[in-house]
Amino acid sequence: MSKATLATIWLDGCSGCHMSLLDMDERLIELSPQFELVYSPLVDAKVLPRNVDVALVEGSVSSDEDEHKIRLIRSRARILVSLGDCAVTGNVPAMRNSFPVDALLHRVYIENATLQQQVPTERLPVLLKRVRPVHEVVTVDVFVPGCPPSADTIYSVLKELLAGRVPDIAALSRFGI
Amino acid sequence: MNPAPSVKTLMIDGKDVSARADQSILDAARENAIPIPTLCHLDGLSEAGACRLCLVELKGTPRLQPACVTLVEEGMEVTTQSPRLEKYRRMVVELLFAERNHVCSVCVSNNMCELQDMAKQLGVTHVRFPYRYPRLPVDTTHERFTMDHNRCILCTRCVRVCTEIEGAHTWGVFGRGVDAHLITDLDIPWGTSDTCTSCGKCVQVCPTGALFEKSKVGMQSQKNPDFLNYLNEMREIER
């Protein structure tokens, strides 16, 4: 049996969901015969392969780079999973949505900076006007709320998906915590 | 002597039940261990019909009715669980999340919130409506308590407990529709209110992190509205 291909991406989030994924500990070894991690912040691969069976998405869509990444991964992934509250709800990154981007950048890089007071512009992704949950940008197949979703939750979700079943998320996780 | 209250017989989810004529469908259902989800209802306070989670189907009418403010009637046939009701209840919870800024992960009531629990109970794993992200104030002027409008779902439990139990009439609702929000007295900062007795009942009955005690976070900020039944019972005995 050929292994399923798994990709994970990290948009605007704190990487806590990836930490929770690693928190699966020995269960990673248990599941590892079933999948190959082809693209992820956790591995060296630099290019997203053409066909991905399952893509786990951490983080919200906050910049033009995030938007490009999520559209690309959607076009190449069979099952796209919104992993964690940032991807599912916008969560903490979206707290900036009540303020205009200019005001935000000014506050952070001018008002609250003591050295080199300037808004960075070069070689950085441009912030979108509003931070959006993943499903407001592309179609999402599986939603896994939680901040972060527990290792148990991620294990159950992966196990079910690799077995070709749809996990019962409401029984596993919830917003917050 | 009061005349014996009249008794109505009705059917809830196919089960024959009886109730006093002055009881709501919600009362009758709960007395018979038939669960109906609620957020604005709280035992010991009057009903507001504000959250619409307790909507039920009544045979003979296409309109859904809120169980908390609909009185039982003879021969009524009530359905409390159906795909249609589940759809609307989930929608209600999603709209509550979309309306203001409920950031569960950084909320003082994280893991102790009735809205968060309700989302899980109803299987709400994401919100299909665009979030509004309104810019809302946080009133920290009171010495002991904070009002965070970002987390308020306008259940009006605080308004009712302040009026009906404490008798202070400090809390009120200002504005209409999406602009509706809570105010203290005539829309003055909470800390400057003449009527507030700082009893904290509003904090204890608040289902979310909208009202909380300052300097209490995590498990310390657990709400406890049980005093309501005790107070009501004691007052009943005194009468």
Contact B125 A135 (CB under 8 A): no
Number of Cβ pairs < 8 A linking chain A and chain B: 73
Provide the token pair at A34: 């079933």
pLDDT of residue B217: 72
Which CATH code of 3.30.70.100, 3.90.1200.10, 3.40.50.10070, 3.10.20.740 fits the domain covering B7-81? 3.10.20.740
| Contact (CB<8Å) B125/A145 | yes
Alpha carbons within 13 angstroms on the beta-carbon side of residue B53 total 22
Q: Tell whether A113 lies on the interface with B, counting CB pairs under 8 A.
A: no
Q: Which residue of A has its CA nearest to B94?
A: A89
Q: B221: which chain A residues are within 8 Å (Cβ-Cβ)?
A: none
Smallest CA–CA distance, residue A2 to chain B, in Å, is: 32
Contact B131, B98 (CB under 8 A): yes
- Bridge partner residues of B96 (DSSP): none
pLDDT at A121: 86
Distance in angstroms (rounded) separating the CA atoms of residues B126 and A132: 13
Which residues partner with A57 through β-bridges? A9, A82
The proportion of chain B whose per-residue pLDDT surpasses 70, expressed as a percent, equals 97
Strands B15-20 and B7-12: antiparallel
| C-alpha dist (Å) from residue B32 to B10, B17, B35 | 12, 7, 9
Domains of chain A as residue ranges with CATH: 4-172 (3.40.50.700)
Structure-token pair, residue B175: 């504005």
Q: What is the pLDDT along chain A (177 residues), one digit of tens a residue?
A: 589 999 999 999 999 999 999 999 999 999 999 999 999 999 999 999 999 999 999 999 999 999 999 999 999 999 999 999 999 999 999 999 999 999 999 999 999 999 989 998 889 999 999 999 999 999 999 999 999 999 999 999 999 999 999 999 999 999 998
Beta bridge partner(s), residue B58: B78
Say what the alpha-carbon torsion angle B189, B193, B198, B203 is, to the nearest 10 degrees: -40
The helix (run of H) or strand (run of E) holding residue B161 is helix B157-161
ipTM of the complex: 0.93
Q: Provide the token pair at A63.
A: 């910049």
A144 phi and psi angles, rounded to 5 deg = -125, 90
| pLDDT tens for each residue of B120-131 | 999 999 999 999
B72 min Cα distance to partner chain A (Å): 33
pLDDT recorded at residue B238: 76
Q: How far apart (Å, rounded) are the C-alpha atoms in residues A177 and B107?
A: 9
* A91 within 8 A of A85, measured Cβ to Cβ: yes
pLDDT of residue B144: 96
Write the DSSP string, A76-113: HEEEEEEESHHHHH-TGGGGGGGS-HHHHHHIIIIIT-
pLDDT, tens digit, for every residue of B150-199? 999 999 999 999 999 999 999 999 999 999 999 999 999 999 999 999 99
Measured distance CA(A58)–CA(A49) in Å, rounded: 18
Those residues of chain B that have pLDDT short of 50 are: none
Q: CA–CA separation, B87 vs A159, rounded Å?
A: 29
Mutate which: B94, B100, B104, B105, vs A, most A CBs within 10 A: B105
The reported pTM is: 0.94
CB A155 within 8 A of CB A172: no
Residue pair B185/B193 in contact by the 8 Å Cβ criterion: yes
DSSP assigned state of A53? E
In chain B, list all ranges with CATH 3.10.20.740.
Answer: 7-81
Q: Which residue has the tokens 């919100």?
A: B127
The helix/strand/coil state of B140 is coil
Residue A163: exposed, middle, or buried by beta-carbon count in 10 A (0-12, 13-18, 19+)? exposed
> How far apart, in whole angstroms, are the C-alpha atoms of residue A8 and residue A23?
15
Q: Residue A40: which residues within 8 A CB-CB, separation 6 or more?
A: A6, A7, A8, A9, A18
State both tokens at B107: 């909320």
> Where do the CATH 3.30.70.20 domains begin and end in chain B?
87-238
Closest-CA distance, A171 to chain B, in angstroms, reads 8
Residue B206 to residues A59, B116, B180: CA-CA distances in angstroms? 31, 13, 17
Find the CB nearest A143 among B101, B113, B126: B126
* Angstroms from B104 CA to nearest CA on chain A: 5
pLDDT of residue A104: 95
Q: What is the pLDDT of residue A1?
A: 55
For helices B83-99 and B114-121, give the axis angle rounded to 10 degrees. Answer: 140
CATH: 3.30.70.20, 3.40.718.10, 3.40.50.1820, 3.40.50.1970. Which one for B87-238? 3.30.70.20
Cis peptide before A148 (omega within 30 of 0): yes
Q: What amino acid occupies position A158?
A: L
Q: Which residue of B has its CA nearest to A99?
A: B135
Q: Which of B97, B120, B136 sits opposite A174 (nearest CB)?
A: B120
- Whether residues B97 and A89 touch (CB distance < 8 A) is answered with yes
Please report the pLDDT score of residue A76 as a whole number: 98
- pLDDT the model gives residue B216: 78
